[in-house]
Amino acid sequence: MQPLSIGRNPAIDGLRGIAISAVVCWHAFATHLASAFPLLAGAFSLLWSGVDLFFVLSGFLIGSILLANASAGNYFRVFYARRAARVLPLYAILIGVATWLAVDEDTWALVFFVQNIQWSVQERFGQFVVGPTWSLAVEEQFYLVLPLLIRFLPGKHLPATLVLLIVLAPILRTAFWLSGCNMPAYMLLPCRMDSLFAGVLAAWFLSQDHRRALLQRNRSVLKLLTGVFVLGWCGLALAKLTIFAPLMVTVGYTFIAASYTLILVLVVTSRRRYPTLLLPLSWVGIGAYSLYLFHLPLAVYWPKILYARASVAEGFASYIAALAFIAFVAWWLLERPFIKFARKTFKYERQDLKLPTILNPEAQSISLPAR
């Protein structure tokens, strides 16, 4: 059974589906879920980390693309043209919606993807309609850095550089926390680059046959290590740490990034067929970008439209249905056509790596709703 688009990887889409489901539940349902299921309140308290999973996925997939085409003569032109086709159409609609609703945010900061810097300086989150775009800004800034690293840094120095950048992120977060600045530690690229570059490091490791073979021979060790990190993740959940808790700001984000990276590697290197029962998660993952951009605007205005005439349960159900409809329309009428156009129009001149199908960047529709 394979109802997904030709060339898509259901395992990657499934992880993306988990990430967006966590983020939507965090913003729309976390309080109600914690009240209804108090024994799971700790797990619900970490739903915000879905954005960290998006960062890891983005680093992995973007890293795979750039590593595979590092020597292409049109490397930069094709990469940025495809990124623009993937990110900008829906983003422009969101900015238009924010303008129509007279959202009190700096439009130019949104246009140039520097809202995360502005909000960090102002020590605040963005207003709900555009609030999630801080992570999209982090992603776009990441797009300015990673292509340069992979293009110009000698290959033998790349893994050490990635490890250095991963280690540097919690150091910078700790410095901001000690100075009393919480928002920069949460929103700035240098402070959140551990998740992104952990994904890139995974892409680098899996880009060569001999390293993939080594991983397959030691898969039991990978499973054990992943299990240990998941147990640690459960410990963080039981502690019910907030995003600004000292332990979370210092090393917690990095630990979560490592956990998600291990899970990602375990999933994408599995030789088992993707379970049919998990296909709904893959379908959710296909619409992750639009879901991420529009779930908060809808959450803000949907109650005003419906809740006065419906029970809370009916309101939630109709909210999910409306959000799914938006994602379906956005994918088929806007996202998919632009992706196909960009792939057909902008092609890399050569490919340096012959990646296995599951890691083939051409088989992925990539974006952090990350989104």
Q: What is the pLDDT of residues 226-245, one digit of tens each?
A: 999 999 988 888 888 889 99
Give me the percent of the chain exceeding a pLDDT of 90.
Answer: 69
Give the model confidence (pLDDT) of 299-339 as tens digits. Answer: 877 766 555 555 666 777 888 899 999 999 999 999 999 99
Supply 85's token pair: 């086709």
SS3 for 225?
helix
- The distance of Cα 308 from the centroid of its chain, to the nearest Å, equals 34
- The distance of Cα 41 from the centroid of its chain, to the nearest Å, equals 23
Residue 1 has pLDDT above 50, yes or no: no
Query: Given this model, what pLDDT does residue 310 score?
Result: 58
Give the model confidence (pLDDT) of 140-156 as tens digits. Answer: 999 999 999 999 999 89
Return the axis-axis angle of helices 253-268 and 158-178, rounded to nearest 10°.
Answer: 150
**Residue 356 banded pLDDT, cuts 50, 70, 90:** low
Give the span between the Cα atoms of 296 and 312, in whole angstroms.
Answer: 17
Answer for the pair 57, 19: CB distance below 8 angstroms, yes or no: yes
For the chain, state the CA radius of gyration. 20
Q: Burial code of 161-174, b = ≥16 C-beta within 10 A, e = fewer?
A: ebeebbeebbebbb
- Average pLDDT of the segment spanning 89-94: 97
Supply 194's token pair: 């551990």
Give the model confidence (pLDDT) of 167-207 as tens digits. Answer: 999 999 999 999 999 999 999 999 999 999 999 999 999 99
Give the span between the Cα atoms of 220 and 208, in whole angstroms.
Answer: 20
Answer for the pair 236, 255: CB distance below 8 angstroms, yes or no: yes
- CA dihedral sign, ordered 60, 65, 71, 75: negative
Counted residue by residue, the chain has a size of 371
Answer for the pair 71, 350: CB distance below 8 angstroms, yes or no: yes
Look up the pTM and report it: 0.92
**Residue 94 banded pLDDT, cuts 50, 70, 90:** very high
- Average pLDDT of the segment spanning 84-89: 96
**Mean pLDDT over each residue of the chain, to the nearest integer:** 88
Supply 141's token pair: 């800034």
